[in-house]
Amino acid sequence: MIESYIPIFLVIGFAIVFAFGVLLSSTAFGPQRPTSEKSSTYESGMKPVGTTRERVSIKYYMVAMLFIIFDIEVIFVYPWAVQFKKLFSEVGISVFYSMLVFLVVLELGYLYVYKKGGFRWD
């Protein structure tokens, strides 16, 4: 029983050794020139310590919302594409048209956002 897990243990062990080895080797052999910016937790992100009521520009929310639209599109299209051949042989061409209608509706929303200037950063 336990013998069959030996390859997995080997992989886990190798992963641990490799990860720590690479990290340690970069500290051991790499040049060290720390600045306050570099040694902060998120080098190009937000400050890790400070007020939680930071004001964030509304543009980020716009991007986040628009991103969700396309995220959902992919979530629907991907399984559809994977199962397309099977569904096509069962139901016929209407499988294709239903996704086409979905995409047309979605792209009209995209067009609306584009024309209203939703993608303009400034």
List of residues contacting other proteins (CB under 8 A):
91, 94-95, 98, 105, 108-109, 111-112, 115-116
Nearer Cβ to other proteins (38/116): 116
Cα four-point dihedral sign 103, 109, 112, 117: negative
Strands, E assignment, 3-117: none
Cα four-point dihedral sign 79, 82, 88, 89: negative
Nearer Cβ to other proteins (24/107): 107
Q: What's the length of the chain?
A: 122
Please state the closest distance from residue 118 (CB atom) to other proteins, in A.
Answer: 11
Backbone angles phi, psi at 100, to 5 degrees: -60, -45
Nearer Cβ to other proteins (46/105): 105
Please state the closest distance from residue 112 (CB atom) to other proteins, in A.
Answer: 5
Please state the closest distance from residue 53 (CB atom) to other proteins, in A.
Answer: 17
